[in-house]
Amino acid sequence: MHDELPREEVVDVLDRVIDELLDAAGVVQPPVDVIALAQTHLKMVVCLDRRQQTRGRAQRASGGQLICLRPEPTEERHQWTVAHEIGEHWKADLLARLGIDPEGTGPMAGESLANLFAYRLLAPSRWFAADAPACDYDLLQLKARYRTASHEVLAWRLLDLPAPCIITIVDNERVYRRRSNGIRVTRRLGRAEEDCLRRVHEHGRPVTVRHEPWTVQGWPVHRPDWKREVLRAVFDGDD
């Protein structure tokens, strides 16, 4: 995104556009079925194409927009792809609301505008901002409510909330991605995070570990041939 445009302004515009979309479509609570939203309200055609090389692509078709999806192992991936393509389709309108020249845009804080749109459409701020602290940021409870969003999408959305934390995603015992929303972070896990990760990985159930000044929540996303763990670390000490 434009270097001089604050991220807060961008996400505020995205949230307002998404709220307008949800209101117009009559969506009053999560989960947001983005595929149904695209087909029913936005009059887009969504189809599977086994020849598709990328996750999805949008193109003009007679009568409207066509989104072709590559077959994926989970429904959440299809939901993400359609949410992203809606963001791409609306990019010019979003940029106009932001007062930005479409020719001078790039990624913002490592995320494209369409990515930011997709995250927030699958877990809209109008509900997520209250739901997350209400359940003590429990990822599995949030997944049950926002079931069209992946665990990864919901984990990253926790970084959009005021509570400072570090989110780490570990795939098959290797750190895949690690980010924070204010806490200084390195690639290396802290002692509390390592302890929490070990317990979640071995036992396959949610764990909370406290080693002052850190509290770490961990959740398993395990499949027979693949293990992912998600950690949320919070610093409880003084700055």
Q: Are residues 116 and 130 in the same domain?
A: no
* The pLDDT value given to residue 110: 46
Average pLDDT over residues 168-191: 94
Per the confidence metrics, is the pTM higher than 0.95? no
Q: Are residues 107 and 26 in the same domain?
A: yes
Average pLDDT over residues 27-42: 95
Whether residue 91 is contained in a domain is answered as yes
Q: Are residues 27 and 81 in the same domain?
A: yes
Whether residue 136 is contained in a domain is answered as yes
Q: Per the structure, how many domains does the chain have?
A: 2
pLDDT at 183 over 70: yes
5 three-class SS:
coil
Which of 123, 148, 180 lies at the terminal end of a domain, its last residue? 123
100 three-class SS:
coil
pLDDT at 51 over 80: no
Which of 55, 88, 123 lies at the terminal end of a domain, its last residue? 123
Give the β-pairing of 214-223 and 207-211: antiparallel
- How far is residue 154's CA from residue 157's CA, in Å, rounded to a whole number? 5
Whether residue 1 is contained in a domain is answered as no
Average pLDDT over residues 32-41: 95
Q: Are residues 61 and 132 in the same domain?
A: no
Report the range of poorest mean pLDDT among 12-21, 53-62, 197-206. Answer: 53-62
Q: Are residues 61 and 164 in the same domain?
A: no
Which of 90, 108, 123 lies at the terminal end of a domain, its last residue? 123
- pLDDT band at residue 193 under the 50/70/90 scheme: very high
Whether residue 14 is contained in a domain is answered as yes
Domain CATH code at residue 201: 3.30.450
Domain CATH code at residue 71: 1.10.10.2910
Q: Are residues 67 and 101 in the same domain?
A: yes
Q: What are phi and psi of 17, to 5 degrees?
A: -65, -45
Average pLDDT over residues 102-113: 60
Q: Are residues 34 and 94 in the same domain?
A: yes
Q: Are residues 147 and 191 in the same domain?
A: yes
Report the range of poorest mean pLDDT among 31-35, 99-103, 222-226. Answer: 99-103
Q: Range of 140's domain?
A: 126-235
pLDDT at 63 over 80: no
Q: Are residues 160 and 225 in the same domain?
A: yes
Task: For residue 213, give both structure tokens.
Answer: 């000044």
Q: Are residues 53 and 92 in the same domain?
A: yes
Whether residue 2 is contained in a domain is answered as no
Q: Are residues 100 and 181 in the same domain?
A: no
Whether residue 21 is contained in a domain is answered as yes
- pLDDT band at residue 27 under the 50/70/90 scheme: very high
Q: 135, 213, 123: which is closest to 160 by C-alpha?
A: 123
pLDDT at 109 over 50: no
Q: Are residues 195 and 216 in the same domain?
A: yes
